[in-house]
Structure 1
Amino acid sequence: MTIDLIVPGIRHADSGNFFLMAGPCVIEGEDIAMQIAERVVSITDRLKIPYIYKGSFRKANRSRADSFSGIGDEKALNILRKIGDTFGIPTVTDIHESHEAAIAAEFVDVLQIPAFLCRQTELLVAAAKTGKGVNVKKGQFLSAGAMRFALDKVVDSGNSKVMLTDRGNSFGYQDLIVDFRGIPEMRSFGVPVVMDCTHSLQQPNQVSGVTGGKPALIETIAKAAIAVGADGLFIETHPDPANAKSDGANMLHLDVLESLLRKLIRLREAVC
């Protein structure tokens, strides 16, 4: 299944490029969210890359209770709707509980299942029943092959608009590693496969309670993913990662996004 069947109306779907899911980790406020959207839309239109704006309306899985989790659900969801309407682009956000599926579906085009929750049957079924696109992130604790069962839960609930996203596997207590064999394996299920180039470089479970990361390797992960056939890339980006309110340690600086995407387009042309 191609991305335009999962996200109807997505621009540049026939360009032959990979698609991009990108934006801030969490909606921090309207001004910064709109600024990021405007920049990325300009870049992806110029490069003819199909684009889905990503922003969590709330972060439910923070390490510490005092970590920033959001500006309020309704306020953040309305910002996501405004971004979609203003720029004419689809949007994606995470859901964490079954009842959130129908709520978020009123505001966005794609519902994302966080990696830690990819086995939660009720959550997957609730997302499926909205009729929206569903992006299921592969658990850090699962093999690529095991994601077939998460996929089946959505499809068997009457929704074939599914994509799967790899974000690495736990490697010890405080690191992740990407097994790139998983991309072609999950693609064999007949759905688009995305590589999460930023979360796969997290260093979780730090003693400080603040997740670390290796953003210098984002380009490496992205290049390898394109080389093995990834259909899309997931990149969290921000104009000031050091001061982002969530996951700044593994974000891509917005200023370098275009140069990276240009390299990846050339790579895709070479390997396809």
Structure 2
Amino acid sequence: MNAVQPVSITDFQVGGQNPVALIAGPCVLEDGERALNIGRAIKAIANRLHMPYIFKASYDKANRSSYHSFRGPGLEEGLAMLARIKKELGVPVLSDIHCISQVEAAAAVLDVIQIPAFLCRQTDLVYEAARTGKVINVKKGQFLAPLDMKNVVTKIEEAGNRNILLTERGATFGYNNLVVDFRSLPLMRSLGYPVVFDATHSVQLPGGAGTSSGGQREFVPYLTRAAVAAGIDVLFMEVHDNPPEAKSDGPNMLYINQLEDVLKDVLAIDNVIRRHKVGNCL
């Protein structure tokens, strides 16, 4: 098993014995002003708690349940929105790519390029993203065992990139349900890279609402506390000012006004266990 090497994201590091960092924002870019305001509110909370913060939002939700579902503004307009958020808020930004043709444009704006869970085994996409030298956050597929991510890590390393984050977002458990096996967090961390816990997608009910996914946001705080106690390096959460009117993943997104209390628990737990986050020992 390998020691976890910290990964630099602009002016801070994640992993090793660094405090837990936050990736947060709306599921999808609905409009520029709303996304900016959500990011501004999250940044204010993160600043009060002295927590490193990365803004996230998708410019294209290419894996929606229905062809008619809202997908976002698309590559060009969405990256322009993210560039504005990055400049005005002074925070790094993350979004997901879905095909090789998006890589070059995305890398010109994004600080962290995310590989969606459904695409984590797409060799060409992973390799081309890695060749940019950007931090690559790979979401573990709902269909993979934790140590299966070793093959994904090797593809990125073979492209000459060791700026890697690995994300747990739940595993398929029967129909329309996910379950989190918290053993996956130390197992993936044993691969030598920082581990992220996606607290809001882990309570998603995929396809559970017919033409869209359902969710159980009431369980987000519980899974979050458990994951931090297991020794994660980064917490990933989708938040919104009014989730019921969100255009994607509303049922599992957290209300902004709930975020600070959850993060206070996160930091308290992280402070207790951080001394154990050395190498493969959690």
Residue 175 (structure 2) pairs with residue 173 (structure 1) = yes
**How many aligned residue pairs are there?**
270
Amino acid at match of 2:137: N
Q: TM-score, normalised by structure 1?
A: 0.96
Match of 2:236 in 1: 234
Following superposition, the deviation at residue 270 of structure 1 comes to 2.2
Match of 2:272 in 1: 270
Unpaired segments of 5 or more residues in structure 1? none
Mapping 1:77-116, distance limit 5 Å? 77-116=79-118
Amino acid at match of 1:185: L
- Mapped to 2, the partners of 1:207 and 1:23 lie a distance apart of 23
Amino acid at match of 1:2: P
| Cα distance change, pair 12–151 in 1 and its aligned pair in 2 (3 A) | closer
Residue 191 (structure 2) pairs with residue 189 (structure 1) = yes
| Cα distance change, pair 139–239 in 1 and its aligned pair in 2 (3 A) | same
Following superposition, the deviation at residue 11 of structure 1 comes to 8.3
**Greater length-normalized contact order (CA 8 Å, ≥ 6 residues apart):** 2
Match of 1:2 in 2: 6
Q: TM-score, normalised by structure 2?
A: 0.92
Identity of aligned residues (%): 43
Residue 262 (structure 2) pairs with residue 260 (structure 1) = yes
Residue 250 (structure 2) pairs with residue 248 (structure 1) = yes
Match of 2:77 in 1: 75
Structure 1 runs, 4 residues or longer, greater than 2 Å off: 10-17
Q: Secondary structure of the residue that 2:146 maps to in structure 1?
A: coil
- Mapped to 1, the partners of 2:14 and 2:148 lie a distance apart of 32
Match of 2:225 in 1: 223
Match of 1:163 among 162, 165, 180: 165
Q: Contact between 1:140 and 1:167, CA under 8 Å: does it hold in 2?
A: yes
- Mapped to 1, the partners of 2:15 and 2:231 lie a distance apart of 17
Match of 1:131 in 2: 133
| Cα distance change, pair 187–14 in 1 and its aligned pair in 2 (3 A) | closer
Q: Contact between 1:10 and 1:51, CA under 8 Å: does it hold in 2?
A: no
